[in-house]
Structures are given as C-alpha cells and as structure tokens.
A and B are shown apart, each in its own frame.
Chain A
Amino acid sequence: MNKIIYSENVRFDHHELKLVFEKTDANNLFHVNQLVFYPYYYFEYKLERKSLFHPKGGMIGCTIDGINGIGAIVNTFPCFEKQAIQTDAIIPGKIKSADAKVIAKKFVYDTISYKMKVFSPPPIILTMKEIFYRPYWIVEGGDIYLENKFMLTVDAVTGKYHPL
C-alpha cells in the first residue's frame, strides 16, 4: 500500500553509493537496496526586526526530527516533492505537530540568542510549516566470505552515514 508524502529527492542513487563505498574500502562488498523515509517537520520564520546580520529582516528555517524532537537550522530551503511511497518504508512520526511547533520556536529563539549574542531576540513569525520525509539508504557491507557483516544507514540527500 502506498502513501502520498512530501519527500526530498534522492541525490545519491544506489549505484553511485555502491561505487563510493567500494572505492573507500575495496576489501568489502556493499549492497545498497533499501530506502526508508524518516519524518521531519520544517518550519520557516520571518525575523521581524532588522539587525546587523539581517539588515533586511530575513528568514530562518529549521527542521525538527519527527521522532527525537531534535532541531537543526537549515542553510537552504529544502526541495520537497510529492511521492507515492510504500507505507512499510515510512517510519511513523512520534512528535505531534503542535509539540513540534513549540520545540521549533524555542529552538529558533535559542539559536538566534546564541548566534547574535543578544538578550532579546527579535520577534519571529511563522511563515511556513510542513511535514516531510528524508530518504535514508540501508547499506549492507561485509567481506567476500560473507562474515563480519555490518549495516549502515546513509542520508540519501547529503551522503552522510552512520552504522546501524
């Protein structure tokens, strides 16, 4: 069964990824064959007051991890695309939209205070809110004798990876 979701586009396809890994470590074989979709919230805010860093006011965007509730400031506006994805490849979110909004606002305020070194951050107005999914590859690696297998997950947008 499929579900229509907003997802970022895959920038590293499985052929490319396989080549990169096999070039990194020629002693192991890598199989890249599964994608899972991880939920995030995207919030975009408009900064009301002009500052030294944002003389025109400016915009600030952040993502909130839909499961751990961890925030991150985004440098560029993410490109979402509507896609039909099998439901069993979608990781269900745990953070509710309203909770994510509270987390995002606090996170943005804290970040502005920290980065701008001001006691009173400028007012911010929410201009966009979206739930989207980021694709992650599941990569299986191991030596040619099929012993010492290991699993990695690779961010299909940035190429960053972490062992599972």
Chain B
Amino acid sequence: MKDDVLIFLIYLFLLLCVGLYFSRKASKSPNSYLLGDRKVGPAVTALTMQSTSMSGFMFLGGPALAFQHGWYAMMYAIGDAGGGIINLSVLGKRMRRMSELLGALSPIEYLEKRFKSAAVRIVGSIIATVFLFAYVFAQFLAAGKALESLTGWKYEWAVVVGVGVIVIYTVAGGYLAVVWTDFFQALVMLVGVACILVVAFVHVGGLSGLNQSLGEMDPSYLSIWGEDYIYYGQWGVILGSSLIYMIGYMGLPHVVVRHMSMESTKTVKSATLWSAIYNQLFAYSPYLLGLVGIVLLPNLSDPEMVIPTLAYTFFPGVVAALLLSAVMAAIMSTSDSILMQAGTILSRDVYQRFINKKANPTKMILISRLSILFAGITGILVAVIQPPKVFDLVVFAFGTMGNSFMVPYIAAVYWKKANSTGVLCSMIGGGITNILWTALDWQAITGLHPFLAGLFISVIGMIIGNLFGNPPTSDMEEIFEEAKGPRRLPKKVEQNIAQDIAPEARVISDFMKHKPSVQGVQR
C-alpha cells in the first residue's frame, strides 16, 4: 500500500475513534445525542461552525472559481471571512436563549414552537430535508472525487470508504462526535492550506508577483468583474456573491443549530473571537491558491483539482497526502453536520412529531441513529449512481436553504410580532425564487444574483404575510422579551453601578427568579 493512502486511512481511523469515544455519552438522552447536552464551549462552537460552513467547495469549487475568474472570486472569500462573525453576532445569544426557553432540539422544531404552527414545521421539514439531502449528496460526491484522485481508488470504493467512515462516527457519537471531529478537522484544514499557500507564494514571488503575472496574462483577472469583465457593472451579482456566504449561513439549519448547543450566552463572545481569527487566517487562502493555479498550472484540465495538483507539485507524495487531508477534512466536516441534521429532522421533526409523539428517550435515540444511517446510505447510493457537478449542486442547495430560512430565523428573535403566515410566505417565496432564478438563469437577464433575488422576495413575503394570520400570543411575546436577554441600562444609571455588591446582586437575582412573588416589607 502506498504511504499517502496509508496516511488517509490513519486519518479516517482517528475520526472513527473520536466518534466511538462519544457514543456512550451520546446515548444518555435525545438532548445529549442531538445537541451534546447544550454544553459546547466557544472554541469548539466557533471551529465546528466554520468547518461546517466551509465545505468541499472551499478546496474544489472555490479555487476553481478563482482559477476561472481571477480576483472576482475573492468576493466569495470576503463573504466567507465575515459569515461566521455575522452569524454568531446576529443570532448567537438570542437563538441560544430562545431555543432553551422553547425546549427545541432541532432548528425546524424551533421554528414551529416559536411561531406555534405545525404548517411551519411541515414546510420547513420538507425544504430542509430535500435540500440538506441535495447538499449531502454533493458533499459525498466531492468526498468520493477527492479520495479517488488522492488515492487512486475506484470512485465507487472511494465513496463507500470515505463516506462510510462519516456515517459510522456520526451514527455512533451523535452531535458531540460531529462537533469534536469538526474542531479537529478545522485545524487540519487551516494547517494544510496554509502550508501549500506559503510554498505557492514563494514560487510566484508573493502577492505582488502573483498580481504582476496575472496582469500580464489577462488584466481582467485583476478586476472584481470576472474574466473578460463578464459581470461588468452588475453590482447585483457582485454583492450577491459576497452576501451568499456573509449572511446565507444564518439560513442553514446544520449551521444555526450550533447556536442552540452552546454552553451559555457567554460562549458567544469568545466564539466570535475564535471565528474572526480562524476566518481571517483561512477563508482567503483557497481562493488565493486558485489564482496561483492560473500562473503555475495554465494547462490544468479540471479547475477543481487546483489545490491537489499544487500540493503534489510542491511536496513529496507523503507530505502532500498529509496536507491534502485538509480537503477531506473540509468535505467530511460539512458532510457529518448535514447528515446529523438530516437525521435529526427525520427523527425529531417527522417521526416524533407526526408518527409517534409518545416515543420514549431510548427509542428516540435509536430512531435518530437509524435516520442518520438511512440518510447516509441513501447519500452513498445517490453519489455512486448519479454524480452531477459539485459546484452547481452546492450553490443550488445552499442558496435555497439560505433564502428559505434566514429571514424566519432572524425574525424569530428580532420581530416580536412576526407570525406564522409571514414565515410561511417568506420560506416558500424565498426558496422558490432561488430555485427559479438558478434553474432559469435569470441572473443573466436581470444582473441579480439568485441569492439576492431570493432575499428580496423572502423579506417582502415576511412583511406582507405578516399582515394576515393571528398575531403571536402574549406568552410567546414574553418568551421573546426574555430571549432578548438582560436589558441595557440607561447611561446615567449605568455610570454609578457599585461592582462591590455584584456577588450579592447575583444571589438576589437568583432568589427573585425562584420566588417572584416575594413582597417583603413595605416601608
């Protein structure tokens, strides 16, 4: 067996060990299996969120885009770099609080309980299941393709081995196995891409040398308008390219579930810092490698192979294999999260909600495991039988989910009067718009990116739909207020706070929560 194949096998074995390590802990309760007991700390939250968000697209589709269009692709990188920070800052604290107040274990259940509507859950489950599966198929396909090219295995075997490992550790270890392997894989991604980028820059004479070479080859590579200025003046396309990743993550169920599993609202601040550092170090690198590919690999037939080809060009086989574990890490860290979420939705939002409402916790864990296994096996079969292009499928699924769920998730915590009719209009309108825009290529006619078009319709649907239907109940308004967290004090009052009585204040606060009716002595 070749050394580089052995390295991949050891890597996969390590991931399996992590999954099996968490299998016992995950079996305690549905909360443990599906959300890790809501005890995930800041570093793990941040890095699992990033590695989940940044899929195989970052190592295959992203560099290919840069290879084809030059600096225009950096608009996607800018979105990627800011995505995690915006996601945590906008939704983090409020979604964490509200999901716990509502007792929701899945992001779709969360929407149903927030808007008190079974229809929201049905529509949400359908959209999420269809597109999460589409997304997972694309990831499995990427996993097979990457493993095939890196090991020389037959594609079918590459899918079965690579994806089989993901399915096993996700089924066994549940959410905790997913977030901890993601954490580990985020580090692998960073180290792998950083090493390749450093050597690549040495070869092209740094950023200045790279730009000089690009300019000499084709000046349009240096513009934000794409190769041959194909998107010249189309700000709708340029902005949409950034926005899709900058705010689109807030609509992905398998990403926003990270807010629900954080240890506390205090986790958000540190997690944002971790995200910010990680993103600035990582997000631009794959795209920069795509640009390096234009200069160093002008005859490359498959643009998606820019990073693997550069790795094998710069490093000996074993080292390249070690660094290219990063490609597998990116694909696997996204695949396991989507698989986990698809299984959660099938078990929690379909089985327990509509088939067996009284299922006990042990049965629910079993059903969750079987659902993930079912999703995994289906994914393997689809990836083996019908392999479409990775990039198209990911952007299609990503955009549709982003347009369907982003506005409802934001409205759930920022618009007290938001109701279920508005949410349904927003989900359906946003999703359908994205599908039509992508399928019929309306971007070419309108100059508007599908994500931006879907976002407009989703917002309009939310506002207009909200005029109809029942307003939220008073208890939901109270929960909404509570989820906003402690109020900010007026400035003049805040100036004179006595910090030395903070310990007493904490105790009194607890006392008041548990005995709200205390009257004390009137003076």
Contacts and interface: CB of A to CB of B under 8 A. Distances in A.
Interface in A102-148: 135-136, 138, 141, 148
Interface in B110-169: none
B490 interface: yes
Contacts of A163: 486, 489, 497, 505
Contact of A155 (B487, B501, B503, B512): B501
A116 to B, nearest CB: 23
B521 A153 contact: no
Contact of A153 (B504, B517, B519): B504
Given A34-B520, A70-B503, A91-B507, A21 B493 contact: yes
Nearest to B507: A67
Which of B488, B497, B499, B521 has the most A CB atoms < 10 Å from its CB?
B521
B518 A88 contact: yes
B490 A28 contact: yes
Contacts of A89: 518-521
A162 B492 contact: no
B508 A35 contact: no
Contact of A138 (B488, B492, B508, B517): B508
B484 to A, nearest CB: 10
Interface string A13-30: 110000001001101100
Given A70-B503, A149-B487, A160-B500, A38 B508 contact: yes
A150 B504 CA distance: 17
A160 B498 contact: yes
B12 to A, nearest CB: 50
A164 B489 CA distance: 11
A141 B490 contact: yes
Given A150-B489, A160-B498, A136 B519 contact: no
A29 to B, nearest CB: 11
B511 interface: yes
Contacts of A35: 520-523
Nearest to A34: B520
Contact of A164 (B503, B509, B517, B522): B509
B249 to A, nearest CB: 30
Contacts of B518: 34, 36, 88-89
Contacts of A135: 521
B512 A65 contact: no
A136 B503 contact: no
Contact of B508 (A86, A141, A153): A153
B248 to A, nearest CB: 32
A161 B497 contact: yes
Contacts of B507: 38, 67-68, 91
Interface string B252-274: 00000000000000000000000
Taking residues whose C-beta sits less than 8 angstroms from the other chain, chain B's interface range is 20 to 34
B496 interface: yes
Contacts, number: 105
Interface in A60-107: 65, 67-68, 70, 85-86, 88-89, 91
B515 interface: yes
B193 to A, nearest CB: 45
Given A88-B519, A162-B497, A163-B505, A25 B490 contact: yes
B211 to A, nearest CB: 51
A148 B487 contact: yes
Contact of B498 (A10, A38, A162, A164): A162
B521 A25 contact: no
Nearest to B505: A162
A33 interface: yes
Given A67-B507, A86-B520, A164-B508, A24 B493 contact: yes
A91 B508 contact: yes
B515 to A, nearest CB: 6
A136 B508 contact: yes
Interface string A52-64: 0000000000000
B502 interface: yes
Contacts of A34: 518-520
B503 A68 contact: yes
Contacts of B520: 34-37, 85-86, 89, 138
Contacts of B515: 88
A5 to B, nearest CB: 11
A85 B522 CA distance: 10
Nearest to A24: B492
Interface of A: 10, 13-14, 21, 24-25, 27-28, 33-38, 65, 67-68, 70, 85-86, 88-89, 91, 135-136, 138, 141, 148-153, 155, 160-164
Q: Kindly list the 3 A-B residue pairs having the minimum CB-CB distance in the complex, ordered from nearest.
A: A160-B498, A89-B520, A35-B520
6 contacts: A24-B496, A68-B503, A89-B518, A138-B520, A161-B501, A162-B497
Interface of B: 486-490, 492-493, 496-505, 507-509, 511-512, 515, 517-523
Given A37-B520, A160-B501, 6 more contacts: A28-B490, A88-B517, A91-B511, A153-B501, A153-B509, A164-B505
